[in-house]
């Protein structure tokens, strides 16, 4: 294993609900041990994982150095491959040959380390849009690595996309990628800007990475206002256009607050990549994976703000940064690095 990213889904397992401000580091520089406190209120939800070793690292890439006797396995020896087999924060990993995605010639392990979670999530979002009969998307925390991929993907596929960010520099970043609709939730004109973008795109499906707070409600209200502005007649039940928000992250761990001014044709639910892929079937999975491989250094390219070794990711100067889950900040674990 030469490279493995730290994704938000990895942090959910790595730190759970621990208060990392209480973290202490013991052990040795080569094998540090980090200990942090967990609040009593959340301990019950974690009872099933107490005293269990749970290997971390959803995805990664590296070079095949040994293989089984089958021709399929032997054909992989020496190849640079990407895998999403879990337990990737390690120097060596044994997986089934069929789980390996051979990277195109000239593609490095660094290029392929994030070839599964974010690219397949972006494709899963557009696939869900088509399957559920929507014609445009809304995405929150849109300046993330995933968000940047989605901007490029929607441009390539001609899908109208409304991006929601919370900082001017994030808006500038997305516009530099060619995003047409970027709304800043911290702006006084956010509600108006959002309705205008929703009216222009007819987007009725949102994927929300924040989870808590009022953003999902604001999006549904904006969709309803946009739909009602073109309705032929008034209905006391609101517009007949179905509006859907899927929550796929928890950047805000507070309650999801809905102020129901958006009629009766709406839904809020959870969305995760693995259940989506299981329901989509082998043909769809293969088609999406093939597209990722073909566009790994273009549409689905990832960027990293910092590289750390296995021991280095347990240093306070590293974990105090990556636990913030800051938009656009992404760490890459390089297991064979010494520091």
Confidence of residue 229 (pLDDT cuts 50, 70, 90): confident
Tell me the β-bridge partners of 95: none
CATH number for the domain spanning 77: value is 3.90.180.10
- For residues 144 and 185, membership in a common domain is answered with yes
What are 169-181's pLDDT values in tens digits? 999 999 999 999 9
Q: Are residues 135 and 234 in the same domain?
A: yes
Q: Give 88's contacts (C-beta < 8 A, 6+ positions apart).
A: 1, 4, 56, 57, 58, 59, 60
Q: What residues make up the domain containing 140?
A: 117-277
Same domain as 106, residue 55: yes
Residues 103 and 125 reside in one and the same domain = no
Least confident piece of the model among 36-50, 183-197, 215-229, 277-291? 36-50
| Beta pairing partners, 267 | 244
141 and 254 co-located in one domain: yes
Asked if residue 288 belongs to a domain, the reply is no
Q: Specify the pTM.
A: 0.89
Beta strands in the chain, from DSSP E residues, in sequence order: 4-5, 18-27, 32-38, 60-63, 80-83, 101-102, 137-140, 161-165, 181-184, 205-208, 211-213, 243-247, 252-256, 266-270, 306-308, 331-333
Looking at residue 329, its pLDDT comes to 84
- Write down how long the chain is: 339
* Cα–Cα separations (whole angstroms), residue 29 to 25, 34, 101, 311, 314: 10, 12, 34, 7, 9
Q: How many domains does the chain have?
A: 2
Pair 225, 313 in one domain? no
What percent of the chain stands above pLDDT 90?
A: 86
């Amino acid at each position: 294993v030469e490279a493995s990213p730290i994704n938000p889904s990895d942090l959910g397992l790595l730190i759970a609900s621990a208060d990392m401000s209480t973290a202490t580091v013991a052990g040795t520089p080569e094998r540090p041990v980090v200990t942090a406190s967990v609040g009593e209120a959340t301990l019950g939800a974690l009872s099933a994982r107490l005293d269990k070793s749970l290997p971390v690292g959803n995805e990664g890439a590296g070079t095949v150095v040994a293989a089984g006797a089958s021709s399929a396995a032997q054909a992989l020896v020496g190849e640079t491959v990407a895998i999403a087999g879990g337990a990737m924060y390690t120097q060596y990993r044994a997986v089934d040959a069929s789980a390996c995605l051979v990277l195109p010639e000239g593609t490095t392990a660094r290029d392929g380390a994030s070839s599964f979670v974010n690219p397949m999530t972006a494709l899963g979002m557009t696939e869900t849009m088509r399957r559920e009969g929507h014609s445009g998307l809304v995405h929150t925390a849109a300046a993330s690595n995933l968000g940047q991929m989605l901007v490029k993907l929607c441009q390539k596929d001609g899908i109208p996309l409304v991006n929601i960010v919370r900082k001017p520099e994030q808006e500038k970043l997305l516009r530099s990628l060619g995003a047409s609709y970027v709304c800043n939730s911290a702006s006084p004109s956010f509600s108006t800007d959002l309705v205008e973008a929703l009216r222009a795109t007819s987007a009725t499906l949102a994927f929300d990475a924040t989870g808590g707070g009022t953003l999902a409600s604001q999006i549904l209200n904006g969709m309803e206002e946009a739909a009602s502005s073109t309705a032929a007649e008034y209905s006391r039940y609101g517009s007949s256009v179905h509006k859907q928000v899927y929550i796929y992250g928890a950047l805000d761990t507070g309650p999801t607050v809905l102020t129901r001014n958006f009629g009766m044709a709406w839904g809020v639910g959870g969305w995760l990549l693995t259940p989506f892929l299981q329901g989509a079937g082998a043909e769809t999975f293969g088609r999406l994976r093939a597209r990722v491989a073909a566009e790994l250094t273009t549409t689905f390219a990832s960027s990293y703000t910092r590289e750390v070794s296995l021991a280095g990711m347990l240093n306070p100067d590293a974990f105090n940064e990556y636990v913030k889950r800051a938009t656009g900040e992404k760490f890459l674990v390089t297991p064979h690095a010494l520091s």
